[in-house]
Structure 1
Amino acid sequence: MSKKGIKDILQLGHPLLYQKSEPVLQSELDAVKGWTEDLASAMAEIRDKYNFGRGIAAPQLGIMKRLIYIDLGQPKVIINPELSYLSEEMFELWDDCMSFPNLLVKVKRHKHLTLRYHDESWNMQEWKASDNEAELIQHEYHHLDGILCTMRAIDDKSFKWRP
């Protein structure tokens, strides 16, 4: 099977982007390795072409599983994430997405959160994140529920083309 890449990233309007993903089963851990390689490959190509990309959710490649790949200098595989704390404090930012790489969308995100998830060895992990990390986690987590940042825009003027 050929490795997936940028050409396989589902684009805005694709019906799978709006569907809720299924949990990853422990018996699927062998498949997770291949899915993660595909996610990493697609994200590397986005970084090369568009100069952005810190994380990607499996549904963006049509893998309808609750799986996220994040690389903030060290790769992290996030399986079946659960947000267990979202701060009341919010902040605004221009969000981008690999499924529409030339469009920016102004959204509000929680400033702090706690994420619980399984890692690639099926160990339970907890990540207390703030600011940019919290924003990234929320963006990718929403993909798992079929929610795009275009659906969370602050208002109808919260869209602009990437400079």
Structure 2
Amino acid sequence: MVKKILLLGEEKLYQKSDLVEKGEDLTETVSDLHDTLMDFKSRYQAGRAIAAPQIGVGKRIIYMYLDRPVVFINPWLEFPDDEEMEVLDDCMSFPNLYVRVKRHRRCVVRYVDMDWKSREMRLEGDLAELLQHEYDHLEGILATMRAVDDKAFCMRGE
């Protein structure tokens, strides 16, 4: 079911998410994340991932859909080096706003999948930035809070 995406300023977006416990039924939440992401993508021609807090679910779940779905449960990020990049970040919770932020160029994400198997993924460039953005949602951090300075904001053009 397509859920309402919480918007900038809504209190639930600023709360740290709880760990998912083994055995929790995530079927409905993952389905809702998928439907909501696909709906957003069809309306805005953008969107590659969504975090559970964006639909009001305070659990550590990230749903990413590129060529296939990947569900990150209880992800943990590590950075193999200090190299950073500056990017214009956008978000489904503020769909017409870009924020200039710094992100690590590379990251390693460790997580469990839907079968509760431990997984690891190494990401670089735009996918590393994407995972860091979604991971921040699990921590109650929005891109607006990571702006490089007070002039780091711009509106999306038509």
The TM-score bracket by the shorter chain reads over 0.9
How does 1:54-133 map onto structure 2 within 5 Å? 54-133=48-127
Give yes or no for contact 1:86–1:110 (8 Å, CA) kept in 2: no
1:157 to 126, 148, 151: 151
- Tell me the amino acid that sits aligned with residue 81 of structure 1: P
State the alpha-carbon separation in 1 of the partners of residues 109 and 29 from structure 2. 21
- Tell me the amino acid that sits aligned with residue 42 of structure 1: T
- Tell me the amino acid that sits aligned with residue 4 of structure 1: V
Secondary structure, aligned partner of 2:116: coil
1:4 corresponds to:
2
Displacement over 6 Å in runs of 4+: none
Give yes or no for contact 1:46–1:53 (8 Å, CA) kept in 2: yes
- Tell me the amino acid that sits aligned with residue 95 of structure 1: D
Q: Which runs of 5+ in 2 are unaligned?
A: none
Give yes or no for contact 2:79–2:104 (8 Å, CA) kept in 1: no
Q: Which runs of 5+ in 1 are unaligned?
A: none
User: Superposition RMSD on alpha carbons, in Å?
Assistant: 0.8
Per-residue deviation, residues 6-57 of structure 1 (Å, max 9, x unmatched): xx110000000000000001120x2x11101101111111111111100000
- Tell me the amino acid that sits aligned with residue 76 of structure 1: V
Greater percentage in helix: 1
How does 1:19-58 map onto structure 2 within 5 Å? 19-28=15-24, 30=25, 32-58=26-52
Give yes or no for contact 1:9–1:61 (8 Å, CA) kept in 2: yes
Per-residue deviation, residues 92-123 of structure 1 (Å, max 9, x unmatched): 11111000101111101000011100001100
**Matched residue pairs, number?**
157
Q: Percent identity of the aligned residues?
A: 48
State the alpha-carbon separation in 1 of the partners of residues 32 and 145 from structure 2. 26
